[in-house]
Chains A and B, each alone.
Chain A
Amino acid sequence: MGFIRKVWAIVGKDVAAELHTREMVSAMLVFAVLALLIFSFALDLRGTMARAAAPGVLWATVTFAGTLGLSRSLAREQQSGCIDGLLLAPVDRSAIFFGKALGNLLSMAVVEAVLLPLFSALFDVPLLRGGVLVVAALGTVGYAAVGTLLAAIAVNTRAREVMLPILLLPLALPALIAAVQATGGLVEGGGLAEVGGWVRLLVAYDLIVVAVAMVTFGYVVEE
């Protein structure tokens, strides 16, 4: 119970800080909407073209908006040495990982909650379906988990804003490919059973990433 209480304390702290500043989620939202508009103009997203391009455009937008939030989330812990405050607390390092990862997941979920209806409305692509939401959730969990771990590494480097995407995108590629393929199959009218292989890949990726992050996060954040 103590473990879960501390995870929620970290999530609650991040939510409270975000409610005061509104700088992280609003930046992610503005970026996501702008990216969506740029893609729509660049690719002329209408009719069958929209259906074909929707999964790629959606996940590219989520990925880059998420990277913005991940970088900011860990930078907040570096501010005034707050990461030392977390490390001083009598708490398992994996609780810090889960707290930060859940906070990042929440930010990305807010962005997706705006992005999916907007995308559906603008381009007439059926994204607000149960299957798509399941794939979106699985993809976002994996991305937030691996992103939180790598953001903790990148935040200690001098070029952290550049370092995070360089580290993150190659490692997140399996999840992104699976998410794009599964979303594509669902948008074309298929069910979850038809994209089961990609969904299983997403589940496996999530489990592996979370397990690795739990074990290694302490080494990453300690001196």
Chain B
Amino acid sequence: MVCWIEVHNLTRSFGPRLALAGVDLAVAAGESVTLVGPNGAGKTTLLRVLATLTRPTGGFVRIAGLDPARAGSEVRRKIGFLSHRTLLYEDLTAEQNLRFYARMYDLAGGDARIAGLLERVGLAARRHDLLRTFSRGMQQRLAVARAVLHRPQVLLLDEPYTGLDPEAALALTGLLAELAGEGCAVLLTTHDLERALAVGQRVAVLARGRVVYDAPGAETDPATFADLYRRLTCAACEDRGTQMHADERG
């Protein structure tokens, strides 16, 4: 099985604070993995490291078999990234935003791809409208279109369902399944445990900068997952409390 995302003992610190404390994770081609965890667990940091936007402090990272530190440009071509922010220009129209990114990715046949994606995310009728006239949900839909515009092999999505109405959320789930079916490795974060199990073929729990649970979604009982999640994240909190206490004494 080809792994598009490989992470071993990944660490990232911000001053004295350790945001990632030795993450191990692998996502295969065509696999969809959902990452859940409490606020401050390190989900966004992990995604930003994988997207080459943040340098890791230590550990091993490979994206599509490439080392981002050595082949940054090539790695970035293979990545689609959706962050908390839309990465879109409010002073451009929906179509101008996508056309700009198509140029930045040297996308051949960009116009047809842009038209198809605008149709897909339900914004074809608003293609000539400035982004600042869009609602948060519409901006998020366009941000999804931007992230998948260049047909990435690795898709990193940080809380992609934020602001989406149920219909758009369903469409996004369909799009992600389709991309995974085409061989794209999808890693997404969410706070919605039910959705995490529904969307991900595997679900991983990140707490205190480490993956503390990683299992196939089908093998995870939805009825008990919420309890399990609470226990895992609380145990991590207790660890942190113990560590902080030890640090203070040290």
Contacts of A20 in B (CB 8 A): 91-93, 130
A13 within 8 A of B: yes
B89 within 8 A of A: yes
Q: A6-B104, A91-B104, A92-B73 are in contact. Are A85 and B53 (CB under 8 A)?
A: no
Which of B53, B83, B87, B92 meets A16, CB within 8 Å? B92
B window 71-123: CB within 8 A of A: 73-74, 76-77, 79, 81, 83-93, 96, 100-101, 103-106
A81 within 8 A of B: yes
A window 79-133: CB within 8 A of B: 79-82, 84-92
Contacts of A89 in B (CB 8 A): 76, 101, 104-105
Which of B87, B96, B100, B103 meets A84, CB within 8 Å? B87
B242 within 8 A of A: no
B243 within 8 A of A: no
A9 within 8 A of B: yes
CB distance from B97 to the nearest CB of A (A): 9
Question: Which secondary structure dominates chain A's binding surface?
Answer: helix
Q: Are A80 and B89 in contact (CB under 8 A)?
A: yes
Contacts of A162 in B (CB 8 A): none
Q: Are A90 and B92 in contact (CB under 8 A)?
A: no
CB distance from A69 to the nearest CB of B (A): 15
A76 within 8 A of B: yes
Q: Are A79 and B89 in contact (CB under 8 A)?
A: yes
Q: Are A88 and B81 in contact (CB under 8 A)?
A: yes
CB distance from B53 to the nearest CB of A (A): 6
CA distance A21 to B96 in the complex (A): 14
Contacts of A90 in B (CB 8 A): 73-74, 76-77, 104-106
CB distance from A152 to the nearest CB of B (A): 15
Q: List 30 A-B contacts (CB under 8 A).
A: A2-B106, A5-B106, A12-B100, A13-B92, A13-B96, A16-B96, A17-B89, A18-B91, A20-B91, A20-B92, A76-B89, A79-B89, A80-B87, A80-B88, A80-B90, A81-B83, A81-B85, A82-B89, A84-B53, A84-B85, A85-B101, A88-B51, A88-B52, A89-B105, A91-B104, A92-B73, A222-B55, A223-B48, A223-B53, A223-B54
Nearest 9 pairs of A and B residues by beta carbon: A81-B85, A85-B87, A9-B103, A89-B104, A17-B91, A90-B77, A90-B73, A90-B76, A13-B100
Residues of chain A having any CB pair with chain B under 8 Å: 2, 5-6, 9, 12-13, 16-18, 20-21, 76, 79-82, 84-92, 222-223
